[in-house]
Amino acid sequence: MRRSLSEPVSVPLWQPPLRRMPFDRNSALAAHRLLAEGTAVGGGRVSDFETWLCAFESDPEFDPQLCFVIADTQGAIAVCQCWNSAFIRHLVVHPRGQRQGIAERLLNLAFGAFAARGEGHVDLNVMESNIRARRLYERVGMRYVQRGELDPARAL
């Protein structure tokens, strides 16, 4: 799916107790744990923590500034991991934060970051069977551009 960045992007507001966490080693561990839980339920894979974290230092597609972590009073509640190529790799919201608009605001945060970098659009892949996710992406202005098989070997 694709979201054109020529359309306006809403600036997300995080009301307490929600707050954006800087991406560092502490928030990385919480983000990884949340991604592992989310992909176990929603499909896909996340490599072990050290491999995943190392990718931010060695893979040109990864940028810590494009890993958005949202926390509440209990810790990380949502994470959106993006690639430099204007691609959303993972988006996970903990069950305690679902149906509160967190995913929509997190997507808008990613869209704004890519718009600020001068990108024309943002892409992501979604499984056809994941109706909830598809509806979310449609609500934030994403449109279908291509159907195809996903590469299950890509673990990060």
Report DSSP letters for 76-96, one per residue.
EEEEEEEETTTEEEEEEE-GG
State residue 151's pLDDT score.
Answer: 55
Gap between the Cα atoms of 100 and 14, Å rounded? 12
Q: Where does the pLDDT of residue 150 fall: very low under 50, low under 70, confident under 90, or very high at 90 and above?
A: low
Q: Where does the pLDDT of residue 2 fall: very low under 50, low under 70, confident under 90, or very high at 90 and above?
A: very high
Taken as a whole, the chain contains a residue count of 156
Q: Where are the domains of the chain?
A: 2-6+18-139
pLDDT digits (tens, 9 = 90+) for 121-147: 999 999 888 899 999 999 999 999 977
CATH architecture of 2-6+18-139: 3-Layer(aba) Sandwich (3.40)
- 63: Cα separation from own chain's centroid: 13
CB 107 within 8 A of CB 115: no
3-state secondary structure of 21: strand
Gap between the Cα atoms of 12 and 127, Å rounded? 26
pLDDT digits (tens, 9 = 90+) for 52-94: 999 888 999 999 999 999 999 999 999 999 999 999 999 999 9
DSSP code at position 143: B
3-state secondary structure of 63: strand
Average pLDDT score over residue span 99-113: 97
Gap between the Cα atoms of 82 and 91, Å rounded? 9
- Whether the pLDDT of residue 43 is over 80: the answer is no
State residue 143's pLDDT score.
Answer: 97
State residue 156's pLDDT score.
Answer: 45
